[in-house]
Amino acid sequence: MPPADHDTPREIEALIDLMARLPGLGPRSARRAVLVLLKKRGALMAPLAQAMAQVALNARDCVICGNIGTADRCAICTDDRRATGEICVVEDVADLWAMERAGAFKGRYHVLGGTLSALDGIGPDELRIPALAARISAEGVTEVILALNATVDGQTTAHYIADSLSSAGVTLTSLAQGVPIGGELDYLDDGTIGAALRARKRF
């Protein structure tokens, strides 16, 4: 719990409450983070506040792909060097960043903004699925890579998209499943080992 007594200034309490809403920080670690900020007011707190205000002001969703950038069209969608014929469909901006860190894909992205979920009332129109279909004809896309998470919701969504694009005349692919680099069989789940065995390759 944040300090509730009247002797902690209200502004500091409010800051702790807001910090505690970040993922990875609970009320206790938020207080610890704020104490560090208070000790480094000039070196860390002021620059962090300014950086945050600036991003809050400038960040916007790319109107084409749903990536987050600082303009109406993100840096990937406006990069002429990136192939326009391939679209990689991801659930979330976090997944787009992960793909970019891997550096293996040189086409464009399409961020759905979640997965289909009957339980949460999220249907195709809540995601950016209609916009995907529109892009395929508008941009002359030949391949759609379904890079959704290997979860039940992710795969349900991938199947839905594959069905809805079946007559769009594009090649649909998905990421390979198998043993991760550095993975040890003893620590892998049965599903992954089964998938890796079924997709085995000649050595």
Please report, as ranges, the residues that interact with a copy of itself according to CB under 8 A: 1, 3-9, 11-12, 14-15, 18-19, 21-25, 29, 31-38, 41-42, 44-59, 68-70, 74-76, 79, 92-94, 97, 100-101, 103
- Residues 157/110, Cβ–Cβ less than 8 Å: no
Q: Which is nearer to a copy of itself, 14 or 134 (CB)?
A: 14
Q: Please give the Cα distance from 32 to 197 (Å, whole number).
A: 48
Q: At its nearest, how many Å lie between a copy of itself and the CB of residue 62?
A: 11
| φ, ψ at 180 (rounded to 5°) | -70, 155
Q: At its nearest, how many Å lie between a copy of itself and the CB of residue 79?
A: 7
Q: Which is nearer to a copy of itself, 105 or 160 (CB)?
A: 105
Q: Which is nearer to a copy of itself, 55 or 138 (CB)?
A: 55
Q: Please give the Cα distance from 59 to 69 (Å, whole number).
A: 6
Q: Which is nearer to a copy of itself, 11 or 186 (CB)?
A: 11
Q: At its nearest, how many Å lie between a copy of itself and the CB of residue 89?
A: 17
Q: Which residues contact 175 (CB under 8 A, 6 or more apart)?
A: 145, 146, 147
Q: At its nearest, how many Å lie between a copy of itself and the CB of residue 20?
A: 11
Q: Please give the Cα distance from 110 to 167 (Å, whole number).
A: 19
Q: Please give the Cα distance from 107 to 87 (Å, whole number).
A: 6
